[in-house]
Amino acid sequence: MSADPGDQAMSEQAPAGHQPASPEQMAQMDAGALHAELARAMSEVADAQAAYADAVQSKLEAIDARDESATRYARESASARLALVHRAEARASAVRSALRAVREAQGSECAGAAAERFVDVEDFVAHYLSPTVIRKMSGGVVWCPRWWAHPEAANRLWAMWRGYESARLQEGGSLSRWWVNQVDPHLEILLSDRGPFSECRKGQHRVGSGLSHERAPEGWWTVRSGDFDTPVVCEPTGDATDEMEGSTP
């Protein structure tokens, strides 16, 4: 007899050597311990999401094979793993809330020291950017809920988060400039059907291929006048030029 999908999912999800901290325990932790707890929680989220994606793929394969028994089991397995995703995400959210409370307390205790509003880029996207930026996902506008799995998107959103934390502490029109100079240009790329989510359609997550790269020959790069603050310029030496010519088909 096949194992119960829910029991199997639970056994696969159980981490070795670490028990999640309870709310009471998190209330006694400092920022460093909570950051470590958050890292573990996010790792559990990633593992749960990967297991769910595998279960969905197995379900689709069973449906294609017209195997009713396997399809029924795969559906139950996918549902069990989706429940684990939700549980892992809820735990990560609880750790973020505890960390946010610690940072706010530290900010109120330290004169002139303002705590950051968000604990990490995912906190920023989930609780600020996502509910604030409203777009109709059609007509060339695309987004992927698993944005963190797209390196370019994750880096752009991280930069937006750091810019926000800096701008909100400044006077005048700093937040307005942040929107105009950072958010708008980044969103134009992120939401474009030619951007990092271009392969993600109808809720399906796909990562496109990155830019190809070949390593430059030895001696290809130099810096003008020995000034490392200026942009690097291409000034191939004789050996590098010979190597490039020799490799031309």
Q: What is the pLDDT of residues 200-212, one digit of tens each?
A: 876 667 777 667 7
Q: Which of 4-8, 30-34, 140-144, 235-239 has the highest mean pLDDT?
A: 140-144
Q: What is the largest CA-CA distance in the chain?
A: 75
Rg of the chain, C-alpha, whole Å: 24
Distance CA 37, CA 42 (A): 9
Place of tokens 């684990």: 84
> Smallest Cα–Cα separation from 45: which of 80, 93, 77?
93
Task: Give the pLDDT confidence of 88-98 residue by residue, as tens digits.
Answer: 888 878 887 88
> Burial letters for 107-140: b for 16+ Cβ neighbours within 10 Å, e otherwise?
eeeeeeeebbbbbbbbbbbbbebeeeeeeeeeee
pLDDT above 80 (res 159): yes
CB 145 within 8 A of CB 153: no
| E strand segments, 108-240 | 221-222, 233-234
CB 37 within 8 A of CB 21: yes
pLDDT at 178: 95
pLDDT above 80 (res 232): no
Per-residue pLDDT band for 240 (boundaries 50, 70, 90) equals: very low
Mark residue 213 as left, alpha or beta (left: phi above 0; alpha: psi -120 to 50; beta: remaining).
beta
pLDDT at 248: 46
CB 197 within 8 A of CB 153: yes
Residue 9 CB partners (closer than 8 Å, separation 6+) = 51, 77, 80, 81, 83, 84
CB 96 within 8 A of CB 38: yes
pLDDT at 115: 63
pLDDT at 77: 87
Q: How many whole angstroms from its chain centre is CA 51?
A: 17
Average pLDDT over residues 140-161: 90
Share of the chain above pLDDT 70, in %: 73
Residue 42 CB partners (closer than 8 Å, separation 6+) = 92, 122
Task: Give the pLDDT confidence of 47-102 residue by residue, as tens digits.
Answer: 887 788 788 888 888 888 888 888 888 888 888 888 888 888 888 788 878 877 77
pLDDT at 110: 45
pLDDT at 11: 53
Structure tokens at 114: 């303002």
Distance CA 31, CA 237 (A): 52
Structure tokens at 219: 């001696």
Per-residue pLDDT band for 112 (boundaries 50, 70, 90) equals: very low
pLDDT at 136: 83
pLDDT at 249: 46
pLDDT at 218: 77
